[in-house]
A and B are shown apart, each in its own frame.
Chain A
Amino acid sequence: MTTSDLDPAVPRSADPAVDADEARRARNRRIEAVARWALPLVVVILTVWGWHLFSNSTQTRGLIFPEPARVWGRFLADYPMLFGSLMVTLKITFLALGIAIIGGVLLAILFTQSRFAELVFFPYAVVLQVTPIVSIAPLIFIYVQDPLARVLICAWIVAFFPILSNTTLGLKSTDSNLRDLYAIYGATWWQTLLFLQLPSALPYFLGGLRIAGGLALIGAIVAEYVAGISGSGSGLAFRILEASYRLNYPRMFAALIMIAVVGVIIFAATSFLSWVFLRKWHESAIRRET
């Protein structure tokens, strides 16, 4: 009987709820859940192993290219000192990031309120951004005496532009119909900023923050390098410089890896922050079911 094909009471396959497509998707999901963690782990292990082999490939190479175990040993031995330096670098990074956030957001608000302010100040922001920090830093070190302030200024200069430009973009990209609606309802300047413009700018700001977090760290490190061994700093970059003069290569690697790990953690933290604020409503933070 041909009508049975259309009869919903007659199942066409053994389990009508799970067709071949659905089963394949479920299998892919299970594989991805494992691979998400397993793959990076395997790559890390292979990298360390390769590094180990390379260090031991000739008799003398290990002297200037220390094997992972020696770096690890150095790290454990120097841990109190390196940890102290880490704190110094972190303090500068986060202070600079904090000032960059406050300054960048306030300036962005100023830019969106006054076209003239933008015309006047934006070129300077661009100039600060496009001029490499290593070339500005020596001058800053001449004119600024305070050891903390000079490093802070360097880190701030590199961190503040992405916040400024992204937040400005965000504040300007509010839905024009919503702006009209606010105007019709007689919203004040302050209400429009607080209830409409700032929430609209949030995804953009968080995108800028992700970039600025990494840049603040880079700025802090660069400033320490410029300060050099004579500087009063004792951050991680200072440790690398100092260790290089002492030919203490394992410590250089240990400090370098710490910087890299801090960078990754800052990136992860700002990404997490993004997710926390946007997961309910913004496309970027919503996982698609496909």
Chain B
Amino acid sequence: MTDLSNRPILPIAQRPRLLEMTGVSKVFNSTVMALDGMNLTVNEGDFLSLLGPSGCGKSTALRLIAGLMRPTSGRIGWIGAHDRGDIGVVFQEPTLMPWATVARNVWLPFRLRGESFASVRDRVGTALELVGLENFRDAYPRELSGGMKMRVSIARAFVTNPRLILMDEPFAALDEITRQKLNDDLLALKAKIGCTVIFVTHSVFESVFLSDRIVVMAARPGRVVQELTVGAPYPRDMEFRTSPDYAAQTHVVSDALRRAMGDHSNDHL
């Protein structure tokens, strides 16, 4: 594990383990090796980014963790008991039900557990407040901007107070300004909730800004090539984004990514 920071290392090693992947492989159509022998330990409280080019298996890893498919070999295990309510998911698209209002969309995880809207009205309201959409609870998704829809999606993921949030390139389709704002808000939300986040991205800058752990992956076959730690303390804000520390860390991660993609021209750095 490479420490990117010259600051004291955060006590990641002291965090209790949340789930573990050992030798996980996934083969599609008996031919395409989407993921090859992935080992990963996720700790309680991590902000862990899976960073890599397309085809590196980062989304496959996320879907495996979500339980949407089974590994071809290897095992994925939670440490200790968990139930369905322990996972929240945010996809690249907002993935809202267009026929339901904002509040009813956020209600979904509860609804599927058989809880009436009235009984969780307050929790839905709180989640919407946390993403700044308390005045849009009765709006329909089509009335919202792309950034606002993504906020609803985030509120829905957080509303059950899950232990683990899985995010699959959630901000990739948004403009830079909206994305930065949502990055800030996501960190604040995570700090408030104290959950674990696994965040799939192909943006070096985003991963460095958000994560304390970055797993760099490579394609053909999809595999983990390097694990990095970003030691900068939270809360991180605009100041961090413009600091030399941030620049240096993005540089190291960029290099790692470039090596992962088979380009060694910058090895002298």
In angstroms, how far is the closest chain A Cβ from the Cβ of B192? 22
The distance in angstroms between the C-alpha atoms of A283 and B141, with both chains bound, is: 12
* Segment 181-210 of A: residues with Cβ below 8 Å from B: 181-187, 191, 195-196, 199, 202
Q: Which residues of A contact B37 (CB under 8 A)?
A: none
A78 at the interface (CB under 8 A from B): no
Chain B contact-residue range equals: 20 to 34
Q: Are A178 and B89 CB-contacts (below 8 A) given A183-B68, A195-B111, A281-B140? A: no
B73 at the interface (CB under 8 A from A): no
The distance in angstroms between the C-alpha atoms of A175 and B100, with both chains bound, is: 14
Contact of B99 among A177, A185, A199 (CB under 8 A): A199
In angstroms, how far is the closest chain A Cβ from the Cβ of B115? 12
B16 at the interface (CB under 8 A from A): no
Q: Are A199 and B97 CB-contacts (below 8 A) given A184-B66, A184-B84? A: yes
A196 and B97 form a contact (CB under 8 A):
yes
Q: Are A177 and B84 CB-contacts (below 8 A) given A184-B89, A185-B109, A187-B112? A: no
**Among the interface residues B85, B87, B95, B141, which one has the most CB atoms of the partner chain A within 10 A?**
B95
**Among the interface residues A185, A280, A281, which one has the most CB atoms of the partner chain B within 10 A?**
A185
B99 and A181 form a contact (CB under 8 A):
no
Total contacts A to B, CB within 8 angstroms?
A: 56
The distance in angstroms between the C-alpha atoms of A178 and B140, with both chains bound, is: 16
The distance in angstroms between the C-alpha atoms of A167 and B109, with both chains bound, is: 26
The distance in angstroms between the C-alpha atoms of A185 and B66, with both chains bound, is: 10
B98 at the interface (CB under 8 A from A): yes
Since A184-B84, A191-B112, A195-B108 are in contact, a sample of 17 more A-B pairs with Cβ atoms closer than 8 Å, ordered by chain A residue number, is A177-B91, A177-B95, A178-B97, A181-B91, A182-B112, A183-B67, A184-B89, A185-B113, A186-B84, A186-B112, A187-B112, A195-B97, A195-B112, A199-B97, A281-B98, A282-B99, A286-B142
A-B contact pairs, 9 of them (CB 8 A): A180-B63, A180-B89, A182-B112, A184-B68, A184-B87, A185-B112, A195-B112, A199-B97, A281-B98
User: B: which residues have CB within 8 A of A?
Assistant: 63, 66-68, 84-85, 87, 89, 91, 93, 95, 97-100, 108-109, 111-113, 140-142
